[in-house]
Amino acid sequence: IHIRFIAADQSVQDIQGKPGQSIMEAAVAANVSGIAADCGGTLTCATCHVIVDAPWADRLPEPGNDEQGMLEFTASPRAPGSRLSCQIVLTPELDGIELRLPASQY
Ligand code: FES
């Protein structure tokens, strides 16, 4: 499953993830710079913040209450498409997803 990360400076990182992996796990495995993921996916750090734009945003399940709560603690301001990448599980339908990285995770 192909994932594209676009950093705040517009630099692009393309990686591959596996179905069932979270986007955060795929990013950490591929050493994507800009995803810190300090808590390892336990939804307590908000340093795996990504911004998902249309059309991809509509293809994701809505964030759950716990994710909504942690999205208030992102270092960079929360945007309409802000998500925590540890909560997005890869499925074949997400092949080619594009995500923007915030300017900072701290
Ligand atoms: Fe910590 Fe996602 S990795 S909230």
Instruction: Average pLDDT across each block of 10 residues of the chain; the chain has 106 residues. List them in order.
Output: 98 98 98 98 98 96 97 97 98 98 98
Residue 42 alpha carbon, nearest atom of ligand 1: 1
Q: Which residue has the tokens 């990013």?
A: 27
Residue 41 alpha carbon, nearest atom of ligand 1: 3
- Looking at residue 21, its pLDDT comes to 98
Rounded distance from Cα 61 to ligand 1 centre (Å): 17
- Looking at residue 37, its pLDDT comes to 98
16 forms beta bridges with 2
Task: Output DSSP code: residue 92.
Answer: G
List the CATH code of the domain at 2-100.
3.10.20.30
pTM over 0.95: yes
- Looking at residue 11, its pLDDT comes to 98
